[in-house]
Amino acid sequence: MIVLSSVSKWYPNGARPALIDVSAEIGAGEFVFLVGPSGSGKSTLLRLLLREERATGGRVIVAGRDVARIPDRRVPQLRRIVGCVFQDFRLLPNRTVAANVAFALDVVGRPRHVVRSVVPEVLELVGLGGKADRYPDELSGGEQQRVAIARAFVGRPRVLLADEPTGNLDPATSTEIMSLLDAVHRAGTTVIMATHNASLVDAMRRRVLELGDGALIRDEAGGRYDQTVPQPVAPSAPPPVVVPAQPTGTAPDGERSPWATPARSGPVG
Amino acid sequence: MGDAGAQRPGRLMRPGPLASLLWTGLRRNLAMTGAVIVTITICLAMLGAGLLLRAQVHTIDGFLLDQIEVVVDLSDAITPAERSALEAEMRRDPLIVGVRYETKKQVYERFRRDFRGSPDVVAGVGPEDLPAALRLTLADPRASRDIVVTYTGLDGVEAVRDQRALLDPLYRFLDAFTVGAFTLAAVQALASFALIYTMIRISAHARRRETAIMKLVGASNGTIRAPFVLESAVAGLAGGLLAAGVLVAAKIFLVDGQFARQTMFPLFGWAAVWESAVVVLAAGVLAAAVMASIALRRHLRV
């Protein structure tokens, strides 16, 4: 789904590159944590995937396309298969929850009957079925992030990028958002989540890409937030945090995710 | 791009959501939109006035060119032989298609008819005071100056009067007003552009969240720009309608109400008004949309 080969990014006037020679391959349907200290290049990498920036060296390939070579007028097409959520939610304050989600379909010209049927479904899936007519400032942070996820997911992107989606949320809410993203992933979406939340990464034990000063310094399947030092299970090691609280209506692990249940979905993306 | 190709990139928004974006934009920017509409109205009213003045020149031309004659006043001392020679020469002239002799009495009758509205003028003039004349119909009335030059000073010719020359001040007057109206329209067009430029800047700022999200979810560039261009085009349409109203009002109250009683010339008809109104409307909508597109290049990166 995503191939990075020797990707480098220099910003104009930058003293050092934001990314140096990053190579990685992310398959369709994978879930990947992107970790590393602030300024290590996580956001730059996500911006490259969205073609908000172009790599200065190497190639970024998304869904078989060399992103840097997509002509400007085709970039919207890329962004329809790459959804995105952010730390600050980025909802429109003057629109209701349902209107915020519908906006994403309206502006890509989806027919009205599609919008009318899909929006309530997606709101139900993110656990906001009863709050369709609320405005963002009437919602908690976690609920706002659910709206943002619904908006990113409603167009059925094949890749979902999450840039520190739990950065503004308390631990319990973060866990809820995490399981929502996990559900999106189980519905077949490739998810890349940049995060500083060590306990989530440690609990999920998914593939971890770690950036340091723009270089890829770790690519570990089932990794933790910090470099796993090969060691026997020591009594001092922190107990892994289990993701307990599923959002209301979410099936427990092992069962089919609510994201996959609607008969409509067909091939996702 | 894989199966996402089902959604074509060029697809625009449905009219409903687009109209709602447009409406919030216009409302949010009410004062600015109002200023733009007023400026565009003045600009287009001036443009329309210029077009109507030109129509008036054409109307007068069409009316007069058929009737314009060059009048050769004959001196009282001319002999019949001299007159016949002069007439013969005129009939050979390719620029002249008709020669008609009017006696002093006929000239006086015409004078009384032309000045029937001014009895004082008529009272002071007798049949003997006016010269007999040859009235020349020209192949091309615009060539009258050549005729004047050719026949002035010949034996028995007292004066050659070009009726069209009498109208020169009127033409100069109309031309000056036409140029003035177009100049004012151009100045107002510049002002409109400055205002639209500012309107787009404010609007782009006010909408920056919306446009950021539109970009994020893959709206096409055309979709992102459409509300801005439409906002401006709606202002252009409003200005065009107001300006068309001004033209209609001017026709009813000024032209038909005032001038019609004060002039002996025919005035432009409704056809000219509707023509100008259509031009003004089209110019308003198109120019405003184009101006907005230019301003968008500067203020909105997509």
Sorted by where each starts, the structural domains of chain A and their CATH numbers stand as 2-265 (3.40.50.300)
Q: Is this complex's ipTM strictly greater than 0.95?
A: no
Closest alpha carbon within chain A to B227: A107
Q: Look at B5 and A77 and tell me if their CB atoms are within 8 Å.
A: yes
Q: Look at B223 and A65 and tell me if their CB atoms are within 8 Å.
A: no
Residue among A77, A152, A158 whose CB faces B9 most closely: A77
Q: Look at B1 and A158 and tell me if their CB atoms are within 8 Å.
A: no
Residues of B in contact with A65 (CB under 8 A): 1
Contact with chain B for residue A72, Cβ under 8 A: yes
Domain range list for chain B:
14-63+169-299, 67-163
* Residue B195, min C-alpha distance to chain A (Å): 27
Interface probe with B: pick from A1, A53, A107, most Cβ of B within 10 Å:
A107
Residues of A in contact with B207 (CB under 8 A): none
Q: What is the pLDDT along chain B (302 residues), one digit of tens a residue?
A: 334 444 454 567 888 888 988 888 888 888 889 999 999 999 999 999 999 998 988 888 777 777 778 888 888 888 888 888 888 888 888 888 888 898 888 888 888 887 877 788 888 888 888 888 988 888 877 777 888 888 888 888 888 888 777 777 888 888 898 999 999 999 999 999 999 999 888 888 888 999 999 999 999 988 999 999 999 999 999 999 999 999 999 999 988 888 877 777 788 889 999 999 999 999 999 999 999 999 998 888 76
The CATH architecture one would assign to domain B67-163 is 2-Layer Sandwich (3.30)
Q: Look at B217 and A77 and tell me if their CB atoms are within 8 Å.
A: no
Span A28-80, pLDDT tens digits: 999 999 999 998 999 999 999 999 999 999 999 999 999 999 998 899 999 99
Interface of B with A in 21-50 (CB under 8 A): 24
Contact with chain A for residue B223, Cβ under 8 A: yes
Half-sphere exposure of A166 (CA within 13 A, CB side): 22
Contact with chain A for residue B216, Cβ under 8 A: yes
